[in-house]
Amino acid sequence: MAFEQEAIPWIDDVYRFALSLTRDESDADDVVQDTFLRAYRSWHTYMPGSDCRRWLFTICRNVFLRSRERARPTVELDATELDSIAVGSLYSTAVRDGFDDAFTRLDLAPAITAALAKIPEPFRSTLIIVDVEDQSYESAAEVLGVPIGTVRSRLFRGRRLMQEQLLTYASDAGFGPRPASARAATKCLTHSAGTSRQTA
């Protein structure tokens, strides 16, 4: 297959991914351009029949990291159970305050875009790859260069942070009081468990 048929059609996906990484449209433009340029020059290394979008995402992330001239984000978490319980707490508060159906009653697109910008790396890129771009854990692991278990832990933390943001947005939009109690409970659980850690 030619570059035109295999790679070019993924420009929208690569742009979204680049924008999620850079959080700046101008920087995203540069990353997308460089991604496709590198992809074109490396086209002979692409294996026909493999997942071209995944291949482009990998290049895109590498371009982004090089452009920032900084090391790969190093925060790793193994607190997925804690995140799951914290999300349960958020849900309880949403039910109690009457906005548990906010995800269907509101047009959340502006809120999602704004909330994504506030999610720190590496959680944001993981969330984008799996939940927005509908890639598998395996694909995300390959793009991000981490084990599948790390994808899972990053994804769960990213989803938890997104739910906190979106439920606060729903509250502000008039669905109920700000879920401060949920955030307090979440923070309390996080701090008391102390399972977050930094790795080099």
Partner 1 sequence: MLDTLSGDVTPDCLNVLLHVWDALDHQLSPAAADTLHAHVAACDRCRDYQRFQVRFLQALATLRTRQGAPRHVRLRVIDSLMTAGYTPR
Check if the beta carbon of residue 102 is closer than 8 Å to that of residue 117: no
The only residue of 113, 120, 147, 184 in contact with partner 1, by rule CB under 8 A: 113
Asked whether 195 and 79 are in contact (CB, 8 A), the reply is yes
Name the nearest CA neighbour of 68 among 11, 30, 117.
Answer: 30
CB nearer to partner 1: pick between 23 and 152: 152
Nearer to partner 1, 21 or 200 (CB): 21
- Residue 5: C-alpha distances to residues 29, 32, 164, 172 (Å): 21, 17, 40, 45
Based on the shown chain and the rule CB under 8 A, indicate whether residue 112 belongs to the binding site for partner 1.
Answer: yes
Spatial CB neighbours of 25, under 8 Å, sequence gap ≥ 6: 19
CB of 71 to partner 1, least distance (A): 28
Residues forming contacts to partner 1 in the complex (CB under 8 A) are: 2-4, 11-16, 19, 25, 28-29, 32-33, 36-37, 40-41, 81, 84-89, 91-92, 94-95, 100-101, 103-104, 108-109, 112-113, 116, 127, 130-134, 137, 152, 155-156, 159, 162-163, 166, 185
